[in-house]
Amino acid sequence: MEDVSLHILDIVENALRARAKHIVIRLAQRKQADRLVLEVIDDGKGMDEETKRRSLDPFFTTKQGRRIGLGLPLLAQAAEEAGGTLEVESAPGQGTRVIATFGLSHIDRRPLGDIKKTLYCLEATHPEVCFRFETIETD
């Protein structure tokens, strides 16, 4: 994926398939620490330990009729290429939290892309879901 906004779209689509009704998207630019942190938190059905463990395997998916699931593996790759990490926290009935960190000034960090357009698209196509977008910027 070319930019962070497309990763957001993909991760939020996972949350929607998990029947999330509340989704928080948080982008934090921590300049002193040279970190960009993306968090997507949902109240969907969550994942058991086995599903969570396998969620970073590109040859694993829970989608019917599909044999691969590239969303989380591609986000993990983008984070790692930019000197960061990806964490997935989830439990059945508790929702999921995806935290991707990137080196803010890293030469391989993907651009943010059109975040406003991505959010507009999500809100327009899923009016039944409560989206909250937060930006944090620290020195």
Least confident span in 17-31, 35-49, 57-71, 116-130? 57-71
Which DSSP category does 109 fall into? P
CATH of the domain at 25: 3.30.565.10
- What is the CA 6 to chain-centroid distance, rounded? 9
Range of the domain at 109: 4-138
The pTM of the full predicted model, rounded to 2 decimals, is: 0.89
pLDDT higher than threshold 70 for residue 42: yes
pLDDT digits (tens, 9 = 90+) for 58-97: 776 665 555 445 789 999 999 999 999 999 999 999 999 9
Q: How many domains does the chain have?
A: 1
Please compute the mean of the pLDDT values over residues 38-58 and round it to a whole number.
90
Nearest-angstrom CA–CA distance, 121 and 128: 13
Distance CA 99, CA 86 (A): 6
Q: What is each CA distance from 131 to 49, 64, 84, 109, in whole angstroms?
A: 26, 26, 26, 25
**Residue whose C-alpha is closest to residue 40's, from 12, 21, 18, 62:** 12
